[in-house]
Amino acid sequence: MPLIGFAGAPFTCATYLIEGGSSKFFFETKKMMFADPELYSSLLDKITECTILYLKAQAAAGAQALQIFDSWAGVLAPDDFERYALPYVKRIIAELKEVTDVPIIYFANNGATLLDLSKTSGADVLGLDWRMNIAKAIEQIGPDIAVQGNLDPSALLLPENELRDRVAKLLAGASKAHGHICNLGHGIHQFTPPKQAKIFIDAVHELSGKNS
């Protein structure tokens, strides 16, 4: 089974440091971005350097793919994402590619409006949340980047036949992708019955023609 390394993206990590936890409005984060950009940039530079070291260590320890997870990227307008979040992701990916050929996944959650920018990140794979049509997203991304996603995690609660139908539709929508890692569009809910996750996995294997 492949071993996937993981790190939070600099913008997302910064929001937790600045807000002191999660937030609905990210007022303190945006206040720093707009009112004190030098402090914001200094903080993001530090996070970026630590993230590069962290992911290099994961690759050296045997990770076969690395994922950069930007949980809160979707709270940014495209112009602000391009200025305040994406450059740090690009820097991480560029430096990683100088020392490793491990594939890199970038996931900007709630990022339907950010796809044109996300595809410039340098990532080999873009994660897609469930709020976007996967076929349209693939068309927008282009032929050179693979995708990961994008079943709504709550859809695991569907009856088995309906869940299998969702899987079939998802696989059909992703059929023109450069490559597709079938997955949920975000993390699985902690109270999801494990048997439902197994139905999803088994359906993916069966309907995609994979045996494992």
How much is the average pLDDT of 15-34? 96
Output the average pLDDT for the chain.
96
pLDDT confidence band for 2 (50 / 70 / 90): confident
Q: How many helices (H) and strands (E) does the chain have?
A: 9, 6
> For the segment 64-104, what is each residue's pLDDT rounded down to a tens digit?
999 999 999 999 999 999 999 999 999 999 999 999 999 99
* 3-state DSSP assignment of residue 209: coil
> Do 55 and 93 meet the contact criterion of CB atoms below 8 Å apart?
no
Whole-angstrom CA distances from 184 to 43, 122, 147, 151 are 31, 22, 12, 4
Q: Is the pLDDT of residue 212 over 60?
A: no
The dihedral over CA atoms of 96, 98, 102, 107, expressed in degrees to the nearest 10, equals 40
Question: Is 178 a residue whose pLDDT tops 80?
Answer: yes
Residues 6+ apart with CB under 8 A from 191: none
- In this predicted structure, what is the pLDDT of residue 209? 78
Could you tell me if 110 and 90 are in contact, meaning their C-beta atoms sit under 8 angstroms apart?
no
Judged against a pLDDT cut of 90, whether residue 44 lies above it is answered with: yes
Q: What is the set of domains in the chain, with CATH numbers?
A: 4-127 (3.20.20.210)
> 65-70 and 104-108 as β-strands: parallel, antiparallel, unpaired?
parallel
Instruction: Say if residue 45's pLDDT is above 60.
Output: yes
pLDDT the model gives residue 1: 73
Contact 11, 80 (CB under 8 A): no
pLDDT in tens, 119-173: 999 999 999 999 999 999 999 999 999 999 999 999 999 999 999 999 999 999 9
Asked if pLDDT for residue 211 goes beyond 60, the answer is no
Joined tokens for residue 98? 């100088």
Nearest Cα to 76, choosing from 121, 34, 128, 137?
Answer: 34
